[in-house]
Amino acid sequence: FAQGPLYIAQVMGNEVIAIGAALYGPPPHFVCRQLNYPARLTDDEHKRIADVSLSCLQALGLGWGPTNIEFRWTKLGPVVIEVNPRLAGTPDPELAQLAYGIDLVAEHIKLVIGDEWNLSRRLSRTAAARMLIPDCDGTLDWIDGDSQAAAVSGVAEVKLYIPPQTPIVRKGNYFDRIGHVIAVSASLAQTEAALKRAVDTISWSITPF
């Protein structure tokens, strides 16, 4: 059991493009509540995560295309949880694009078809996603407020994953999410404020089984 905050390194080729932070709910479950890009790291912490990321690629014979690597920062420093030779799952690539202006999906396609990719950063912003997590099992009667949330200044995306009358059985992992809200701004404080305003407009009703 590696205890500590979780970080996600998004790598293209042998270049660390972005490092994000994942905020989780209480143990023993692994339910991500929020993703922040970039993670709030010191220069030394960023370098250590980047160095271990590149060491993983070398050890596993990777280095072509996208890779995402998850770490827990423990008392011993960054401990590798998993190395995935693929793009990170949604919404991590979207957050990297909003924060840095790099479309990882498009750049991956360029690599596949033999075009020259461009991994230079065009933006320097803070993007974050708040996950919508139900607090009980049951049938989703209704969910509302997504259009109002999308109208909040700074909100880039509001996505609901399931329609009304869907049964919900929580599993204690990322399958528990029923939607997300993404916001972006020049600072983490502004992004957090936009997320809160948007999420507060979304409500739902669940009839327990």
**Consecutive 10-residue runs of the chain (209 residues): their mean pLDDT?**
95 96 92 97 97 97 96 96 95 96 96 95 97 97 98 98 96 95 97 98 97
Q: Do 166 and 140 meet the contact criterion of CB atoms below 8 Å apart?
A: yes
Q: DSSP assignment, residue 116?
A: P
Q: Tell me, what's the pLDDT at 1?
A: 85
pTM: 0.94
Domains in the chain with CATH codes: 6-113 (3.30.470.20), 131-207 (3.30.470.20)
CA angle 32/89/162 to nearest 5° reads 70
Secondary structure E strands in the chain: 6-12, 15-24, 32-37, 66-74, 77-84, 126-132, 138-144, 155-160, 167-168, 179-185, 203-207
Q: What values do phi and psi take at 177, rounded to 5? A: -70, 140
For residues 109 and 93, what is the distance between their CA atoms, to the nearest angstrom?
14
| Nearest-10 Cα torsion for 168, 173, 179, 185 | 160
Question: Could you list the active site residues?
Answer: 86
Give the dihedral sign, CA 194/196/199/203: negative
For residues 151 and 158, what is the distance between their CA atoms, to the nearest angstrom?
10
Q: Tell me, what's the pLDDT at 207?
A: 98
Q: Tell me, what's the pLDDT at 27?
A: 87
